[in-house]
A and B are shown apart, each in its own frame.
Chain A
């Protein structure tokens, strides 16, 4: 068994052309909560990736789901956080913005949008790790998705932040009619947290 990666809640096992994402038991939480979270997240992640692929989002193709495991296509590319530079910035931003608009149009909330959870592969941007995702029509949830993306770009790519995030939003707005409400809510969410002026 070759372990490709040890994430916080799952291990990724290399199976050649596929990978197994296995949610491991967490000893710190009570059993009922642990089982519930692992089961729910595995089921939901499978559904979300399935739906995302059907509406045309680049996401790994699915093979099989077991209790706490999803078997899926192995993407050979690199994480966006590793490859992002001044030259490919516009292309990557536009691809993220376009696909994010599509996800939200179909009420898919990713839940953990970071440049670690996007893969640059075959000149395309793939979305992975829908483990904290869910379906929702709420403006609040869509705006939170953007908020998390903004935060993660700010802490990881401070240098590119303005240009990168603005281009993502520009493309997002272009592809999503409801975006104005969401952008307004984003401002409210930012004011809600502690110590903001």
Chain B
């Protein structure tokens, strides 16, 4: 079966095509909205970007996959969680294609798509996932019939911590890569609030403390301390969740998975506890349409379908609310 997946939860508009029979991702086209320097992402502007790009991205996805529109068997889209204005773009296009091509529609959960695509593109079978991005920070694993959130941020996501700090310091967006570069030149570790609460974390205290240091301490040292503190917290709660659920595999996903220091820390932690560590290829780590197509195909096989009247977006769709019938 040929599945087309549409992703538009936040800054990225992406369309991927997946052949479920061959278990092969045929294409993964995307384009990311970048706000001007010093300004955060405004949902309305991001959604306008998605409308402008969607035609081009669809063509690109079909061309790379060498597939004609008529050959598509199923339309999958990100139904949530995410920004309303952005989600609506993907959902509208999905509905339109479904009606035009007379093919079934399926709305999938964005967070779970990150995990399922990792199971297709890496050897991981039953992993715990540390999912870190500008919009999400969750530790997810399958346990007793559901994907459950074992740990999460109690306030802002870790990518958001870097983005807002970068904005406060006059650095370009997204903040993560810039801070990573600066951190390499950092020498002095400045203690920051280390807020681990059970298997949850909290980053707002770090953001306030680090922002107050701008101009008083070297930006390289603040960046270094930011990374060391935030990532140590994340790896600590991930390890705690792995021990708690007795899982032997870790998948790192989300945009922040691009960070080399975080990868290195996860790798060391897994080695010390004799677990296996996987990071999907980066194009499947950050937001992308291919992962939506993959989860759409898996759910469809288990008999799930989204009727047109049930295709409204779910901006606050929690991972643990999803009915899992395919495992």
Contacts and interface: CB of A to CB of B under 8 A. Distances in A.
Contacts of B198: 111-114, 132, 148, 151-152
Interface string B230-257: 0010011001101110000000000000
B239 to A, nearest CB: 5
A29 B154 contact: no
Nearest to B269: A28
| A-side interface mostly | loop
A192 B236 contact: no
A79 interface: no
B283 interface: no
A32 B265 contact: no
Contacts of A112: 198
B248 to A, nearest CB: 13
B239 A8 contact: yes
A179 interface: no
A111 B152 contact: no
B269 A26 contact: yes
Given A132-B198, A148-B197, A33 B229 contact: yes
A27 B272 contact: yes
A103 to B, nearest CB: 15
A8 B148 CA distance: 19
A29 B197 contact: no
In this complex, the interface size class of chain B, counting residues with CB under 8 Å from chain A, is 35 or more
Contact of B232 (A29, A192, A196): A29
Given A111-B198, A195-B317, A28 B152 contact: no
Contacts of B236: 8-9, 26, 29
A83 interface: no
Interface in A86-135: 111-114, 116, 132
A144 interface: yes
Interface string A162-197: 000000000000000000000000000100111111
Judged by DSSP, the binding face of B is: mixed
Contact of A116 (B138, B189, B235, B244): B244
Nearest to B135: A194
B129 to A, nearest CB: 16
A154 B148 CA distance: 11
B266 A196 contact: no
Which size bracket describes the interface of A in this complex?
20 to 34
Contacts of A116: 244
Contacts of B138: 194
Nearest to A36: B191
Interface string A6-17: 111100000000
Interface string B149-171: 01011110100000000000000
B254 to A, nearest CB: 13
B200 interface: yes
A197 B196 CA distance: 24
B228 A29 contact: yes
Interface in A132-162: 132, 144, 148, 151-152, 155
18 contacts: A8-B243, A26-B236, A27-B268, A27-B269, A28-B264, A29-B228, A29-B236, A33-B189, A113-B198, A132-B197, A132-B198, A148-B197, A194-B138, A194-B153, A195-B315, A195-B316, A196-B318, A197-B316
Given A30-B232, A192-B155, A196-B316, 19 more contacts: A7-B243, A8-B236, A26-B236, A27-B271, A28-B235, A30-B189, A30-B228, A33-B189, A33-B228, A36-B191, A112-B198, A132-B197, A132-B198, A148-B197, A148-B198, A155-B148, A193-B152, A194-B136, A195-B316
State the 9 A-B residue pairs at the shortest beta-carbon distance, nearest first: A28-B265, A195-B316, A8-B240, A148-B198, A28-B268, A29-B232, A8-B243, A8-B239, A28-B269
Interface of A: 6-9, 26-30, 32-33, 36-37, 111-114, 116, 132, 144, 148, 151-152, 155, 189, 192-197
